[in-house]
Each structure stands twice: as C-alpha cells, then as structure tokens.
Amino acid sequence: MSTITPQQVKHIANLANIPVTEGEVTDLADAFEETLDVVANLQSVDTSKVEPTHQVTGLENVLREDVVDEAHMFTQAEALANAKETHEGFIVVPIIIDQE
Amino acid sequence: MLETKTLKEVLDLLESGEITLAEVHKDLHTAISEKNDSLNVYLTVNNAEASPSTAALKGIPIAVKDNYCTKGIRTTASSTVLDTFIPQYDSTVIAKLKAAGGSVLGKTNLDAWAHGSSTETSQYGRTLNPRNPEHLPGGSSGGSAAAVAADMAIAALGTETAGSIRQPAAWCGIVGLKPTYGRCSRYGVVPMASSTDSPGPMTKTVEDAAILLTHIAGHDKYDGTTGDQPVPDFTKAIDKPIKGMKIGYVYHDIEGLEDGNKILAEQLKTFEKLGATVEKVDALDPHYAISVYTVVQRGEVSSNLGRFDGIRYGNDRSHFGDEAKRRIMLGTYTLSKGYADQYYNTAQKVRSLYIKDYEELFKKFDVLVSLTSPGYAKKVGATDGAAMFGELEDMLLEPSSLSGLPGINVPCYRDEETNLFLGMNIVAPMWQEEKMIQVADAFEKATPWNTWRNRK
Amino acid sequence: MTDSTPKTKYELVCGMEVHAELKTKSKMFCGCKNDPFGAEKPNIYTCPTCLGMPGGLPVANKTAIEWTIKLGLALGCKINLFSKFDRKNYFYPDLPKAYQISQYDIPFCYEGVVETSEGPVRITRIHLEEDTGKLQHKTVDGKKVSLIDYNRSSVPLIEIVTEPDIKSAKQAKEYGKALRQVMRYLDIADCDMEQGGMRLEANISIRPEGQEELPDYKVEVKNINSFRFVEQAIAYEMERHDELLEAGETPAQETRGWNPNKSETFSQRTKEDTEDYRYFPDPDLPPIRFTQKRIDELAAEIPELPKAKAARWEKEFGIESKYAEQLTAERPYAEWLETVFAIAEKPNAVANAIVNKKVTVSEGEDPTAVAKKVADLSKTDDVDTSELVAAITKIKEANADAVEKYQNGDTKVVGFFIGQVMRVLGKKVDPNVLRTTLMKELKK
C-alpha cells in the first residue's frame, strides 16, 4: 500500500501548477493511492537486462535544414488571435516580478 | 437518407452523378439536428456548405474528433480550458483530408483531453451510445464512434493513445483503425501521450477505413516521429483472400474474460472456413501494460498539458476537470526527483519487453487477434469514482499501443437483447496495416455483424 | 576592526555557466526566423510550435547541432556520438510549453578546456537548448503588467558549463572573453552582450587559502550581461562572503542578481519548492547519432583559432606576439590583415604601425594601399651628393667651433649637425647616407 500524505499532494500540485482546494487534496490522495497500487506490479518485473524504450519508431537524426519557413509562420494578428489581453503587439499578463 | 450510406457508396454515387454533394450535406445536417440534442455527439457543427471537389474524397464532410486543430473552427479537446480557442492552423491530418477533397463536418465530443474511455470526463457532457442510449459509447473518441454508429456522419476521424479509437468502435459496433505510430502525423493534434498518440479513421466498414487512411497517412516534415515509409493504397488489401494466413489468438485465457472469449472463439472459426489457420498463443500478460501505460502516459500528459496556462489562448489552469488534474498530478509525481527511476524508467523498460514479445509472436503469425474490450458497452455513470476505469477497459489494447503497432476493431457479435456489440481487435506488425485490413475485411464480409453491409 | 589576530586569507572557487544564442537563420525547433533583435515588431516570428499551441511539434535544426559540436571541438571537448533532447519542466510565462527542450544526461560535448593567463579552465559540458520569450515590465493604463514577446522563443541557445577552476574575478572576465572570441571565430554566435545574446552566470564561493576541499555553499549570480560586470560581481561577492565567514556565518546558498547601477548583487526571490525539473527524454524528438567520420568532417571545417593564428604569424611573417594577440581578436579583420602581411615587405612593421596607430586603415582596404602607407612612414627623398655636400659646407662655415670640437674627438656634436642638415635641406635624407657623408666632410 502506498501512502500519499496531503503534504505530498500539495507539493505536487504546486509543481504541476494546479490549483487545488483542501477538499480536493483528500480525493486526490485517494486516487493517487488507487493508481499507485495498480502500477506497483512494475516492481515485480525483472528489468535488469532491459534497455528502456522511449520511442517505438527506431528513427534517428530526424533534423531540419536551417531554412526559414515563411509560409508556416503566423502573422502578428494570428499569433495574438486567441490571447485574452494584448498591448501594442505584446501579450499582456499580470506583473511577474516587481523590478527594483 | 444519404447519411446512412458508407463512404464507398457515397463516393460511387457522387462519381456516377446520381447524387450531389449538396444532398449529402443536407441529409447529414438533418440527421445531426434531429439526434444531436439527445446523443451529444457534436460540440461544434460546421454549417458551411461543403464545396464539391475533383479530388478523391469529392468534398465529402467528415466528422472530426475535437482534439484536431481546425483552422477557424473552435477546438476544445472537450475541456473548458479551451472553451474559446479558435486555431489559426490546421493539423496535418486535416490539411491532408482537405487536400484529398474532404471537409470538416463538425467536431465530436471526447473525454476531456482524450483522458478516458467513456466520454464521461468531457466537460461538455457525456455522449450516449446510439446503439443503446442507456450505455456509454466508450472513448476517448466516443463522439466520433457515435457519429458513425448513429449515421450522423459518413465517416469520422479519431485519435488513439491506447484504445481510444478501437474501444469506442467496439462499443458502438463500428470499424476503428489505429495506424502504426508515426503513420499519421500528430502535428496539430492536442497532445495526450506523445509517444503513443495515433490519429486514425473510424468508419462504417473496413473498406471505408482503408480509403480514409490512404488519404490521411504519410510522412510530415512537421512531425519528426512520422516515418518516411511509402503510403500504399490500403484499399488494395480489400477483397483479398486470406487463405493460408496464420492468425494468433492472444489473451484467450485472461481471468474475467471468459464470456467474451467464448463468443470470440466461436467467431474465429470463420477464419478457418476462409482458409486461414487460427492458433491460441500466449502473449505477455497485459496487466503489466496497464501499469506501463499508466505511468508513461501520465508522465507525458503532465508535461504536455503544462502549456495550457491561459496566456496565449484559452482559460487558466483552474478550468481543468478532475480527471485531468489527477493525471497531471500523478504524472508529475512519477517523474519527480526520487521517483522517476522507480516509475517512469522502469515502465519504459517493461515497455521494451512487450516490443520483444511481439517480435517473437510475429515470427510465427501474420496477425494477432483478441477481444477489443473485455465486454459490452458499460452503463451511463460507470466511471464514477473509478480512477483506473479507462485503463482496465483498454487493457487488451495497451500492449500493442505501447509497442506502436497498428490495430483494427471489427464488430464480431451483437447481443440481440441489448443491441450492444463486441469487437475483435486485429493487430499487425509495424507498417503492415494491409495485413490487418485484409483479415478484417474478409471477416466483415463473411459474418453478419456489420450493420451497413447487412441492412434489413 | 581590531587587528590582533591575523585575518584568514580566502581564495575564490568559481565556475561559470555561459549561455549564447546561435545565429542560425531559423529557430531551434521550428522554421521561424531567428532574428529577435532585428525584429521590427513583437510576435512576428512565431508559429504553433514556438508559441506552445496545441499540437505544435519540434523538429531540431541540424545546423545548430553541428555548430554546437564545432564549438565543442574548438574547445577540445569530447563528443557524444549518441545524444538526445530532454524536456525540462517548469512554469514561467516566457516559457510557452511549460518545458524547455534541453539536454539532460547526454550533452553533445563534454570535457574540454579554455586556456587563460591564470591557468586552464576545464569545460564540464556544452549542451544545446532553446531560448525563452522575452518579458518586459511596464505600466499600461495605470496597471503594472508584464509584456511578452515570443520572437525569441525557441531561438537556439548553447550552454557552456565549467568546472570550479576560476581563481580570480579577472580570470572570469578573461575566460568569458576567450569564449566569446572562439564563438565569433566559428561564426556561430554574435554574442551581443547588450541584447542578451550572451549571458553569464557565476557560481561563487570562497575558501581559506590552502584548503583542498570545495566550500560547502555556492552562490549563483545570474544573467550578467557584461564582462566588466562579471568581474565586479565576483569581486563584490568575494568581499561579502569574506565578511560573513569572518563573522562566523556561511553565506546562504541562493541565486542573486547584479544591479549595475548600485554595483552590488541582490538576493533574488527563491522558490518555496526546491527545483525539480522532472527531466525526461522528449518523445517528440528522435535521438541523434553521429559517426566519427562526420565529427572529423566538422573538425576539418573549424577555422584557425586566434592563438594558433598568432603563433603562425610569428613564424611565417615575423609578427611579434604582442601585436599578433591584438590583431587576431576578430576573425574577418585578422583574415584581411593577413592579405596585407602577405604582400608587405616588412609585415611586422605593418603590425607595429597598426597597433601603434601610426597609420589609419580599415578592414577590407586594398592590401597594396595599406602596405604603401606603412612603407611611406620610412620613405626618404632622393638627395644629390653635391647638394648634400654643399649644405654641409655651409653649416661647417657657420659653426666652426663645433667642427673643431668634433675634430678634437667630441662625437656628440654629430647629432647637432644631422639636425642642421635636415633643416637646411628641408628633405628627408636616408640616415645612412647622411651620416657617412657628414663624417667624411667633418674630418676635412
């Protein structure tokens, strides 16, 4: 049985940038445990002689030539089309750091 | 009534001039307006008149899962995070569809972010199974499966990460084809698990799937994981005898699947009648694949969904639904310091074992068959409080998905009482979709389960 | 301060992390134009990939990878023939995907060295990643906001990390300059410090002189945009640490910034959580495998670097090293200059004249013209012997006492006569001819 503490849930929520309420913390901890119990069987597999597979295609060296792809670039209007707030071509967000 | 036709039939009727594209358009929109309120299949309908095309698909509108970015048409991935998102670009598959003369009929419901196997995690409400509306359509491509099953589309596009095309196809009694990973570009598809996401067709017949796949497949310079293998005309695999083919029957003795396997075993006799051999064979226990998939997919999800911050588009992260929150956070946990080795790295090693297992199996067999889903479509509400619902439903599909292999669902039984279907999953080696298309087509034509081929 | 006990002497332990933007035509992972400083407007060089839109996928720029390897080779690094890109996950508004594509455990290059006058600085690794968008902080309509421009998002960025080999603030500056020189020589980066095209970070601590083990703390001073500032920041930190250690405290392990206006470092807000970037191999980017043959080809493309050039100039053209060091600083200039040396009669005189600003020349100028300008510096007029003798005779008559002095053995007066002859003739006479003629005439 894995035990996930509310502290851990909050820490993870912070790392994941997910806002969670106190009520959600308990539910999430339960869901974590249920899932971690299912995946615990991984530890019983002998993987000592196995290399991990991160990609299944076996492809290597898929690279782009250094060419500007004008046709694929957005106009400024397209780039900003879905932004909530813009100002003179910039995307606006609430102040990040209050500079000295 | 043109909406009830298969893609092949509509193409032939347009070709002979017996019908016009405008009639197809009208019939489809009539069907949609009659049924969409009750079934909740489409989140957005494209009312723009489809323009006739001389290209292969002749302008026929296709239902598109709402995780494909469509230029100028709202794309939500069934999450309110993207409630207002109107992409300024087409995903490559949509661009290819359009280049082949297809068009976008509308955007279909899915489990939010494709997280699930029921459509119950959609933040725009669940879709109902047209075969029996007390039941779920499966997912995550549940809207596309239901659109086809309900004749609210001629054909549809779905995406699969591990079961999301084949499982809803099975539950809705249609054909769902998950191509080889890298066969169809992921560019412009809202990412779920990057290392297994595969766009593919969901259709009324195997032949329709072959037609559509031929037009959406191919190398894409914008997706470095697409292969440069030539794209064959997959319809060449239609009406090809399967005599002499070797079919391996896997997952025949999994606990809890006794009822389904009893039916499947009976159906497999069709292959023998057609001259193929069927042999029971043991494959690596799919229970480990649940774990591998859960860890890998949630890890990739936690990273892929980081971009949804409400700055450049969409709403902020407080809009994520419960399932997305659970997956993002679990993935964050399993990738974090001190745990990555225990979970993520170990999972990727076990993944290698599945690939190795398939390599061995395909030395002996042309294709492998099994049940697609452990059982019939579950009832509405079945996912409540079940954090691992999808993974258990998709258990039989996860090993092949994790290995990048192509697979196809064909209906292989209908329960007369409930009008619900069982599906057979046929898996082929990488880049050999023709083999499974050939076998699936032969089965479809030799059995009574395809509703469109066996219209009353 | 009381001085009864001798104060502990401390020495610097410093490693550096340098970021530089590569000057490829297109960005690192998409085909958008790579010209963030030249862009006329914000957000005009973007696409779904560098804006982190749904379904945008990266494809790596081959040239950027090859340039990284060239830099590694130029700095004597070993090259990983097999490499890959990883995702570094963290949230910041200038990072559109919420992960930076970087390299975690297999950088392209490792174990190199940069020589400085105070000893070698070992390079730990060089890896390739992508830059972020650019944030500006402003007040718009009375509201304090941050403005984001993604023109810079996903521009190729190399990171060069050293071992803690730097022993003085001056050496840090020298190292940074040497690194910039090599990158400019390779023509892979402009390293425009003002614009942020090259950014310095120093990991600073001090230890008592003679102590072998590394200090148990480290202060990172980030985002320094000039060599002078890095020198000042290190000196400032050394003093600050010295005071803290003398007071029995250990400097806090933290990230600090440099305030050029106040000439001091300041503590930057530290995150509540310790950093946990959750690195994993990017599933969107297939790994990269080089052959040794390709690496050799890249090595062959590396131009002669400044130190080697200076040594060769000395051998081939007799250029003194004090001139060569200055004149090899920028590659296009040095290459042009060499065309002058090649045709000059006395190349070292050319070097001398240019370094000491005796002549004004500009890069690209016709080599023959430059050689002539230098030669003109020592050119003499043709003077008829009779004209010369006439002038000497005239001077002898006017200065009989000096002639007598000379004839009595006072050779110091020769200088006086030389000056007089030049003045009278109003011409530049070959000094050898003048001297021999003069002595002959004076003896008469």
pLDDT tens by residue, C40-69: 999 999 999 999 999 999 999 999 999 999
Alpha carbon distance C314, C98 (integer Å): 53
Q: Chain B closest CA to C51's CA: distance in Å?
A: 8
CA dihedral C46, C50, C52, C55 (to 10 degrees): 90
Which of C26, C57, C61 to substitute to test the interface with B, most B CBs within 10 Å? C57
Residue with the two structure tokens 């009406």: B239
Domains of chain A: 6-44 (1.10.20)
Alpha carbon distance C324, C318 (integer Å): 10
Bigger pLDDT: B385 vs C315 = C315
Average pLDDT along chain C:
92
| pLDDT category of residue A100 using cuts at 50, 70 and 90 | very low
Which of B222, B224, B300 minimises the CB distance to C285?
B224
Helix (H, G, I), strand (E, B) or coil at C213: coil
**Which among B335, B327, B344 has a CA at the least distance from the CA of B291?**
B344
Taking an 8 Å cut-off on Cβ atoms, the answer to whether A84 and B333 are in contact is: no
CA nearest to B187 within chain C? C55
- Chain B neighbors of A65, CB-CB under 8 A: none
Asked whether the beta carbons of B115 and B327 are under 8 A apart, the reply is yes
Q: Chain C closest CA to A95's CA: distance in Å?
A: 4
pLDDT of residue C250: 92
Q: Chain B closest CA to C23's CA: distance in Å?
A: 22
Which of B222, B350, B387 minimises the CB distance to A31?
B387
Taking an 8 Å cut-off on Cβ atoms, the answer to whether B343 and A12 are in contact is: no
The residues with which C113 forms a beta bridge, in sequence order, are C122
CA nearest to B430 within chain A? A57
Residue A98 scores a pLDDT above 50? no
Any A CB within 8 A of C64 CB: yes
* Helices first, then strands: H and E counts in chain B: 14, 11
Domains of chain B: 2-446 (3.90.1300.10)
Using CB atoms and an 8 Å cut-off, which of residues 220-239 of chain B contact chain C?
221-225
Taking an 8 Å cut-off on Cβ atoms, the answer to whether A28 and B287 are in contact is: no
Q: Give the residue ranges of chain B where pLDDT is below 70.
A: none
C156-162/B42-45 β-pairing: unpaired
CA B408 to chain centre: 9
Asked whether the beta carbons of B44 and B129 are under 8 A apart, the reply is no
CA nearest to C34 within chain A? A68
- Chain A neighbors of B295, CB-CB under 8 A: 39, 42
Residues in chain A: 100
CA nearest to B85 within chain A? A82
Residue C271 scores a pLDDT above 80? no
- Chain B neighbors of C58, CB-CB under 8 A: 224
Taking an 8 Å cut-off on Cβ atoms, the answer to whether A72 and B222 are in contact is: yes
- Chain A neighbors of C148, CB-CB under 8 A: 90-93
pLDDT of residue A99: 44
- Chain C neighbors of B302, CB-CB under 8 A: 89, 278
| Rg (chain C; Cα; Å) | 31
- Chain C neighbors of B313, CB-CB under 8 A: 53
Alpha carbon distance B100, A93 (integer Å): 41
Alpha carbon distance B391, B301 (integer Å): 15
**Which among B123, B213, B205, B207 has a CA at the least distance from the CA of B160?**
B213
Which whole number is the average pLDDT over C231-250? 95
Contacts of B39 (CB under 8 A, 6+ apart): B127, B128, B130, B133, B146, B150, B152
3-state helix, strand, coil in chain C (%, to 5): 35, 25, 40
Class of domain C385-443: mainly alpha
Bigger pLDDT: B375 vs C400 = B375
Taking an 8 Å cut-off on Cβ atoms, the answer to whether C52 and B307 are in contact is: yes
Instruction: Show which subunits contact B, needing at least 3 CB pairs below 8 angstroms.
Output: A, C
Taking an 8 Å cut-off on Cβ atoms, the answer to whether B295 and A64 are in contact is: no
pLDDT of residue B246: 98
Q: How many CB atoms lie within 10 A of CB C106?
A: 18
Check residue B369 and give left, alpha or beta (phi > 0: left; psi -120 to 50: alpha).
beta
Any C CB within 8 A of B335 CB: yes
Taking an 8 Å cut-off on Cβ atoms, the answer to whether C44 and A79 are in contact is: yes
Tally C-beta pairs within 8 A across B and C: 101
Asked whether the beta carbons of C8 and C17 are under 8 A apart, the reply is no
Tell me how far CA of residue C191 lies from CA of B183, B322, C21, C40, C76, in angstroms: 41, 47, 7, 20, 20
Residue C383 scores a pLDDT above 90? no
pLDDT tens digits, one per residue of C143-152 = 999 999 999 9
Q: Chain A closest CA to B180's CA: distance in Å?
A: 9
Predicted complex ipTM exceeds 0.90:
yes
Among A38-52, C266-280, C347-361, name the one with the lowest average pLDDT.
C266-280
- Chain B neighbors of C52, CB-CB under 8 A: 307, 312
pLDDT tens digits, one per residue of A54-86 = 999 999 999 999 999 999 999 999 999 999 999
- Chain A neighbors of B332, CB-CB under 8 A: 12, 15-16
Q: Where in chain C is the domain with CATH 1.10.10.410?
A: 385-443
Taking an 8 Å cut-off on Cβ atoms, the answer to whether B337 and C60 are in contact is: no
For every residue of C306-362, DSSP letters joined together read HHHHHHHHHHHH---HHHHHHHTSSHHHHHHHHHHHHH-SSHHHHHHHHHTTSS---
Residue C272 scores a pLDDT above 70? no
Which whole number is the average pLDDT over C213-239? 95
- Chain B neighbors of C92, CB-CB under 8 A: none
Alpha carbon distance C358, C336 (integer Å): 19
Asked whether the beta carbons of B432 and B406 are under 8 A apart, the reply is yes
> Active-site residue numbers of B?
65, 140, 164
Helix (H, G, I), strand (E, B) or coil at C74: helix
Taking an 8 Å cut-off on Cβ atoms, the answer to whether C276 and B336 are in contact is: yes
**Which among C348, C344, C338, C339 has a CA at the least distance from the CA of C318?**
C348
Q: Chain C closest CA to B313's CA: distance in Å?
A: 8
Asked whether the beta carbons of B185 and B224 are under 8 A apart, the reply is no
Any A CB within 8 A of C24 CB: yes
Taking an 8 Å cut-off on Cβ atoms, the answer to whether A61 and C145 are in contact is: no
- Chain A neighbors of C42, CB-CB under 8 A: 76, 88-90
CA nearest to C51 within chain A? A79
pLDDT of residue B156: 98
Tally C-beta pairs within 8 A across A and B: 141
Bigger pLDDT: B268 vs C414 = B268
CA dihedral C100, C105, C111, C114 (to 10 degrees): 10
Alpha carbon distance B425, B436 (integer Å): 9
Q: Chain C closest CA to A20's CA: distance in Å?
A: 17
Residues of A with a Cβ under 8 Å from any C Cβ are 11, 14-15, 17, 54-55, 57, 59-70, 72-76, 79-80, 87-100
Which of C28, C32, C53, C65 to substitute to test the interface with B, most B CBs within 10 Å? C53
Instruction: Show which subunits contact A, needing at least 3 CB pairs below 8 angstroms.
Output: B, C
